[in-house]
Amino acid sequence: MATIILAVSRTTCPVYLFLFLMVVVLLPSPSLSADSDPLQDFCVADLNGKPSLNGFPCKPASEVSSDDFFFSGFTQEGDTNNRFGVNVTGGNVLAFPALNTLGLSMNRVDFAPGGINPPHSHPRATEAGVVIKGKLLVGFVTTANVFYSKVLTEGEMFVIPRGLMHFQINVGDGKALAFTTFNSQLPGAVIFSSTLFATRPTIPNQVLTKAFQVDDDIINTLKSKLS
């Protein structure tokens, strides 16, 4: 690095040197774009310990066995008998402690016909997914309000950049199934309908009527349906 800076400073004016240094300093570190890299072979979470920096303390290696590294939570179809017709089975560190500090996790997502995984975002992870069965309309919206979407069928894959609002809806005739994966052991999910209308305590109608430019009746209906 010092050699590069020296070379630049000899051949260019101070303004270019300043700009070059700014770019070097401001370039985001890859290690900040997802969970930090593991510092050891494994760190099976001691779920009774306190989380620290999106991680748990490690179980003593002497207590770790093969079973810690295998997870059967995705073998059963999720129960989609609910108002959204969807079931998300989480395979994150809380369900599968061996993911602790490894910077990844997965979900199994089952859809009834017409079922929707409602608009949500993951504050801590980018999501990639693959459709295993059925036909899904997958969409996301950028911070510039551009909507990208496509209907995907078996074997097709999608990606949702970190933090962006997205959804999947089953547009096929039967059930659908997708597996999703995240570059975080605990990506978190902000489900916008619940975030706005099903909080405890509730967000004052004064805020929601103004934000959505509708009257109290509509806000009260949304609150009662979603709470």
Binding residues: 107, 117, 120, 122, 127, 166
**Minimum Å distance from CB 96 to ligand GLV?**
15
For Mn ion, which is the closer residue by CB, 100 or 107? Answer: 107
Compute CA 161 distance to the chain's CA centroid, rounded to the nearest angstrom.
9
For Mn ion, which is the closer residue by CB, 57 or 163? Answer: 163
88 contact choice in ligand GLV, Mn ion, none (CB below 5 to 8 Å, kind-dependent): ligand GLV
How far from 122 is each of 19, 45, 76, 165, 184, CA to CA, in Å?
Answer: 34, 22, 24, 8, 10
**Minimum Å distance from CB 222 to Mn ion?**
22
Applying CB under 6 A, among 96, 127, 185, 219 the residue interacting with ligand GLV is 127
Binding mask 88-117 for ligand GLV (x = CB under 6 A): x------------------x-x-------x
Report the alpha-carbon distance of residue 190 to residue 214 in Å, rounded: 23
For ligand GLV, which is the closer residue by CB, 117 or 185? Answer: 117
Report the alpha-carbon distance of residue 169 to residue 109 in Å, rounded: 11
121, 123, 113: which is closest to 139 by C-alpha? 121
Residue nearest to Mn ion (CB): 127
Residue matched to tokens 């009774």: 48
- Binding site per annotation, positions for Mn(2+): 120, 122, 127, 166
For ligand GLV, which is the closer residue by CB, 100 or 105? Answer: 105
Contacts to ligand GLV from residues 137-156, by CB under 6 A: none
Contacts to ligand GLV from residues 176-195, by CB under 6 A: 180
For ligand GLV, which is the closer residue by CB, 57 or 161? Answer: 161
Contacts to Mn ion from residues 162-191, by CB under 5 A: none
Residues that bind ligand GLV (CB under 6 A): 88, 107, 109, 117, 127, 166, 168, 180
Residues that bind Mn ion (CB under 5 A): 127
